[in-house]
Structure 1
Amino acid sequence: MNAVKVDKVAKTPQQGGLRQAMAWLHTWSGLWISWLLFAIFLTGTLAVFDEPITHWMTPEHALEEAAHANDPPLPKVTDRGHRLELALDFMAKEHPKADMWEIWPVQRPSHGLSAYWFQPAGGYGSADLDPLTGAVIEHAREATERDTIGGHHFVDFHYELHAGRIGVWIVAITTMIMLVALVSGVITHKRIFKDFFTFRPAKGQRSWLDAHNAVAVLTLPFQFMIAYTGLAFFSDDYVPAPVVAQYGMDNAKKAFLADWNDVGKPAKTGQPLAIPALEPYALRAEQAIGQEIRAVVLDNPNDASMRVCMYGWNEETDTMERISANTGRACYALATGEQVALRRPGESDTGGAGLTRAVMSNLHMVGFGGTPMRWLYFFCGLAGTAMMGTGAILFMVKRRQKSGGEFGTYTQRVYRTVACLNVAAIAGLSIACVGFLWANRLIPVGVEHRAGWELRAFFGVWFVMLVHACLRAEKRAWIEQLGLLAALCLLLPVLNVLSTGDNLAAQIARGDWESAGVELGSMAFGLLAAWGAWKVHKRKEKPASKAAARESAAPTASLQINTEGQS
Structure 2
Amino acid sequence: MSKQKAPSIRQHMAWFHTWFGLFIGFLLFAVFWMGTLTVFDKEFDRWMHPESRSVAGECCTLSPQQLETVLLKARELAPESDNIRLRLPTERTPMTLIRIVKPDRTLKAYFMDPDTGKVVSNEHTLGGSGFFFPFHYKFNIAWNNVGYFLLGIAGLAMMALLISGIVIHRKLLAEFFVFRPKKHTVRSLLDLHNLSSVVALPFHFIITFTGLLIFFSIYFPWATLTAFDGDKAASQKAMSGFINMPPSGFTEDPGQQIAALKTVPTLVQAREAAWTQALGETARADSINIRNLSDSNATLEIRRVFPERSITMSTHADTVLLHTGELLHAHQPKPIKSFTHWINGLHFIQFDHTALRVLYVVGGLLGCFMIHTGFLFWLESRRIQHHKKKLPGFTVVQALTVGGTVGMMIATAAYLVANQLLPNQLPNRATTETWVFYGVWVLTIIWAFVNAVRFKRLENQAAAHRSSQWFQPTVVFTALCALAWLLNQINTGGMFAAALDQGDMNSLAIDMGLLLMVAMGTYTACKIVTPNEAFECA
1:194 aligned partner, one-letter code: A
| Aligned match of 2:313 | 325
In structure 1, how many angstroms separate the alpha carbons of the residues matched to 2:424 and 2:294? 46
User: How far does residue 325 in structure 1 lie from its aligned partner after superposition?
Assistant: 2.4
- The secondary structure found in structure 2 opposite 1:154 is helix
- Select the structure of larger CA radius of gyration: 1
Contact preservation (8 Å) 1:102, 1:295 = no
Q: How does 1:546-557 map to 2 (within 5 A)?
A: none
Q: For 2:381, which of 398, 420, 439 is the aligned residue?
A: 398
User: How far does residue 355 in structure 1 lie from its aligned partner after superposition?
Assistant: 0.8
Q: For 1:227, which of 204, 208, 216 is the aligned residue?
A: 208
Contact preservation (8 Å) 1:87, 1:115 = no
2:240 aligned with 1:261: yes
Q: How does 1:160-559 map to 2 (within 5 A)?
A: 160-164=138-142, 165-203=145-183, 204-243=185-224, 245-246=226-227, 256-262=235-241, 284-290=270-276, 291-292=283-284, 311=303, 318-320=307-309, 322-328=310-316, 342=330, 349-400=332-383, 412-472=391-451, 473=455, 474-497=466-489, 500=491, 502-510=493-501, 511-539=503-531
| CA shift in 2, pair 1:285/1:27, >3 Å | same
| CA shift in 2, pair 1:201/1:175, >3 Å | same
| CA shift in 2, pair 1:202/1:401, >3 Å | farther
2:312 aligned partner, one-letter code: S
| CA shift in 2, pair 1:195/1:447, >3 Å | same
| CA shift in 2, pair 1:215/1:286, >3 Å | same
| CA shift in 2, pair 1:287/1:400, >3 Å | same
Can you list the C-alpha shifts for 1:485-529, whole angstroms capped at 9, x where unaligned? 2222233333334x5262234235434333332222222212222
| Aligned match of 2:131 | 153
- The secondary structure found in structure 2 opposite 1:178 is helix
User: How far does residue 88 in structure 1 lie from its aligned partner after superposition?
Assistant: 13
TM score, norm. by length of structure 1? 0.73
Contact preservation (8 Å) 1:493, 1:503 = no
User: How far does residue 73 in structure 1 lie from its aligned partner after superposition?
Assistant: 7.5
Gap runs ≥5 in structure 2: 277-282, 456-465
Contact preservation (8 Å) 2:237, 2:243 = no
Q: How does 1:34-113 map to 2 (within 5 A)?
A: 34-62=25-53, 64=54, 77=63, 79=65, 109-111=94-96
In structure 1, how many angstroms separate the alpha carbons of the residues matched to 2:176 and 2:113? 59
2:41 aligned partner, one-letter code: D
- The secondary structure found in structure 1 opposite 2:96 is coil
In structure 1, how many angstroms separate the alpha carbons of the residues matched to 2:414 and 2:109? 34
Q: Which moved more, 1:512-521 or 1:77-86?
A: 77-86
Gap runs ≥5 in structure 1: 1-8, 344-348, 543-567
Contact preservation (8 Å) 1:434, 1:488 = yes
User: How far does residue 384 in structure 1 lie from its aligned partner after superposition?
Assistant: 0.8
User: How far does residue 222 in structure 1 lie from its aligned partner after superposition?
Assistant: 0.9
User: How far does residue 305 in structure 1 lie from its aligned partner after superposition?
Assistant: 9.1
Can you list the C-alpha shifts for 1:127-161, whole angstroms capped at 9, x where unaligned? 999989xxxx89685xxx98111113211211111
User: How far does residue 57 in structure 1 lie from its aligned partner after superposition?
Assistant: 1.4
Can you list the C-alpha shifts for 1:419-478, whole angstroms capped at 9, x where unaligned? 111111222211111111111122333221111111111111111111221222342121
Contact preservation (8 Å) 1:205, 1:398 = yes
In structure 1, how many angstroms separate the alpha carbons of the residues matched to 2:216 and 2:228? 16
| Aligned match of 1:31 | 22
User: How far does residue 374 in structure 1 lie from its aligned partner after superposition?
Assistant: 1.0
Higher RCO (CA < 8 A, seq sep 6+): 1
In structure 1, how many angstroms separate the alpha carbons of the residues matched to 2:274 and 2:222? 38
CA RMSD of aligned residues (A): 4.4
In structure 2, how many angstroms separate the alpha carbons of the residues matched to 1:193 and 1:504? 42
User: How far does residue 186 in structure 1 lie from its aligned partner after superposition?
Assistant: 0.6
1:457 aligned partner, one-letter code: V
In structure 2, how many angstroms separate the alpha carbons of the residues matched to 1:484 and 1:458? 14
1:417 aligned partner, one-letter code: V
User: How far does residue 414 in structure 1 lie from its aligned partner after superposition?
Assistant: 0.3
| CA shift in 2, pair 1:75/1:527, >3 Å | closer
Can you list the C-alpha shifts for 1:38-94, whole angstroms capped at 9, x where unaligned? 1221111011111222222123334x35xx8xx87899635589779979999xx96
| CA shift in 2, pair 1:115/1:53, >3 Å | closer
User: How far does residue 201 in structure 1 lie from its aligned partner after superposition?
Assistant: 0.8
In structure 2, how many angstroms separate the alpha carbons of the residues matched to 1:457 and 1:89? 35
Can you list the C-alpha shifts for 1:9-32, whole angstroms capped at 9, x where unaligned? 9x9xx9321111111111111111
| CA shift in 2, pair 1:364/1:502, >3 Å | same
Contact preservation (8 Å) 1:80, 1:105 = no
| Aligned match of 2:458 | none
Aligned residue pair count: 496
Contact preservation (8 Å) 1:479, 1:537 = yes
In structure 2, how many angstroms separate the alpha carbons of the residues matched to 1:127 and 1:528? 37
Q: Which moved more, 1:254-263 or 1:367-376?
A: 254-263
In structure 2, how many angstroms separate the alpha carbons of the residues matched to 1:424 and 1:81? 48
1:31 aligned partner, one-letter code: L
In structure 2, how many angstroms separate the alpha carbons of the residues matched to 1:184 and 1:80? 56
| CA shift in 2, pair 1:483/1:248, >3 Å | same
Higher helix share: 2
Contact preservation (8 Å) 2:124, 2:428 = yes
In structure 1, how many angstroms separate the alpha carbons of the residues matched to 2:526 and 2:321? 70
In structure 1, how many angstroms separate the alpha carbons of the residues matched to 2:473 and 2:127? 24
Contact preservation (8 Å) 2:43, 2:507 = yes
User: How far does residue 357 in structure 1 lie from its aligned partner after superposition?
Assistant: 2.0
- The secondary structure found in structure 1 opposite 2:167 is helix
Q: Which moved more, 1:367-376 or 1:40-49?
A: 367-376
| CA shift in 2, pair 1:207/1:255, >3 Å | same
| CA shift in 2, pair 1:337/1:319, >3 Å | closer
Contact preservation (8 Å) 1:83, 1:105 = no
- The secondary structure found in structure 2 opposite 1:162 is coil
User: How far does residue 310 in structure 1 lie from its aligned partner after superposition?
Assistant: 5.1
In structure 1, how many angstroms separate the alpha carbons of the residues matched to 2:358 and 2:138? 24
| CA shift in 2, pair 1:488/1:309, >3 Å | closer
Q: Which moved more, 1:371-380 or 1:265-274?
A: 265-274
Contact preservation (8 Å) 2:46, 2:506 = yes
